[in-house]
Amino acid sequence: GAVVSQHPSRVICKSGTSVKIECRSLDFQATTMFWYRQFPKKSLMLMATSNEGSKATYEQGVEKDKFLINHASLTLSTLTVTSAHPEDSSFYICSASGRDWSSDEQYFGPGTRLTVT
Amino acid sequence: RKEVEQDPGPFNVPEGATVAFNCTYSNSASQSFFWYRQDCRKEPKLLMSVYSSGNEDGRFTAQLNRASQYISLLIRDSKLSDSATYLCVVNWPGGYNKLIFGAGTRLAVHP
């Protein structure tokens, strides 16, 4: 159980375009989903936390107008990178936490590698 | 002080060796602690939760010292397949109980 999928796994886009990444919990209802980014040889940095049906909470320094997050249902959250720039190239990973889970465990999607040219 | 600090390594050990990783965290209000494993260019996978009494899962033993705000992971009888980056993860109490990740300790097990 606790499977999280992410799509696409890899995307290359041109500067100025927008890219949408989907995160789905496949076998559980995810009340909370988290979006991280990871640069090479660095740790995961939390970008934002989203709860189903409410606005995302962004970490300090993360532009909410650039990284649009929508958590429309208990199994789906999307991250849209708007007007992408080469410095947005990174590994984006989502995670999900389930309803009624007693601990803070999060299960991660396989990640999306974004390259902006 | 960093929120979660780990020795970056790399730790290069032969098969069969015992290796220990250490981690310190800054928020004394943290209540949940985990070790995750991350393979190159893959997502982190939960290795084990860490409990106050210490816990063991096969060759892996995790310890927590709340007074010192210190967490450890011991791997016995290392296998080649243990080569990965080990991430120390601590919850940050607040609205959504977010997790804070250490930068990871890289382990390379060689024949």
Q: Quick: pLDDT tens for A20-73.
A: 999 999 988 888 899 999 988 888 999 999 888 788 999 999 999 999 999 888
Shortest distance between the Cα of B50 and any Cα of chain A, in A, equals: 11
Place of tokens 């532009």: A63
For residue A83, give the 3-state DSSP assignment. coil
A 38-67 → B contacts, CB under 8 A: 42-46, 49, 51, 57
User: B10: cis peptide before it, omega within 30°?
Assistant: yes
Shortest distance between the Cα of A109 and any Cα of chain B, in A, equals: 7
What's the whole-number mean pLDDT along residues B34-56? Answer: 90
Q: What is the pLDDT of residues B71-99, one digit of tens each?
A: 999 999 999 999 999 999 998 887 666 88
Burial A30-49 (b: 16+ CB within 10 A, else e): bbbbbbbbbeeeebbbbbbb
* A-B contacts (CB, under 8 Å): 48
Chain B hits for A111, Cβ within 8 Å: 42-43
pLDDT score of A30: 84
What are the C-alpha distances in Å from A101 to residues A30, A46, A74, B2, B8? 10, 20, 14, 28, 31
Residue A95 pLDDT exceeds 90? yes
Greater confidence (A27 vs B4) lies with B4
Residue A74 pLDDT exceeds 90? no
Residue A104 pLDDT exceeds 80? no
Chain B hits for A102, Cβ within 8 Å: none
A44 within 8 A of A32, measured Cβ to Cβ: no
Cα separation, B81 vs A93, whole angstroms: 23
pLDDT score of B89: 94
